[in-house]
Structure 1
Amino acid sequence: MKKKHWVTVLILALAFGGVYSFVLYNPPLEIGTLGTAVGNKSVIIGIGNKGFREVKIVEVSVNNNEKPSNTKVQVSNALQGFIITEDYNNNGSKKYGFKNIEDVSIKADTSPATTYKKLDDGTASKKDTIYGISVLHSEAINQVIIKYSYFGITFNKNVLFN
């Protein structure tokens, strides 16, 4: 009887290790659109989730792990796209769905590559949700570091702006 118990534990441990390794070596956050305003003090990074569960953005920093002046997530649709702005509250910006990072989870199956394909094929619609991280900083942004959580594992994604 004890032998069956150990075999079950071993099989579960191998399955857990396999899933953990798969997630670790296939991070789900995918980068799409990159946009900057003059001087790189305002940037937008289109992101999506090619994974099986939601992704939660934990923190965004710039350059040498500096805290940006302001950071929001745009929750828009594929036909509308993104906006680069320094004022999240003006009438023109409001329709782009600016939200606080802690209030948004990036839904599964929102890969920018899939959205681009739908746009190319003419099958994209307002139902296709897209996400963009909008970052403002007092100095030029050369790098954005996105810290996110998936299946309880924390990842960092570095995005360089030249």
Structure 2
Amino acid sequence: MEIRIKSFEELSIKELYALLQLRSEVFVVEQDCVYQDVDGKDQKAMHVLGYDDEELAAYTRLFKAGDYFDAASIGRVVVSPKHRRKDYGKEIMKASMEFAFDKQKDKNTIAFAKVEPLIKISAQVYLKKFYEDLGFKETGKRYLEDGIPHMEMMANR
């Protein structure tokens, strides 16, 4: 899988359409969850796109500390149904985590954290093991988000 990381402004119209289509296909249709996916936060995010032969196969969006949570965060983690079982979920998350951690230790960016670099996520509960395998730990807060059980998880380098 080829990974591309872009700001909102760097996305082409074709890329933006593909990522919104994938998010809608999985989060709205497959998970049968009516919610406002286009939430006005994409403009602040970095977008991690995973391509399999020029087709968008996996995606995440990243926020620096303070833009979504108090720590850097990764969200909208999604793998296309026809590209599952290829470990693309882990691959896109590892690339996302590496980028987020690297940005936090770069003193020349506004994302620099003065404490140990952290990543906070709002994870669907059924994916707990997936995220634990990537180094995330549940912080104890569980809640419903758009009718789906979620939990707060954190990872550090």
CA radius of gyration, larger in: 1
TM-score of the aligned structures, taking structure 1 as reference length: 0.25
TM-score of the aligned structures, taking structure 2 as reference length: 0.26
Q: Which has the higher contact order (CA 8 A, sep 6+)?
A: 1
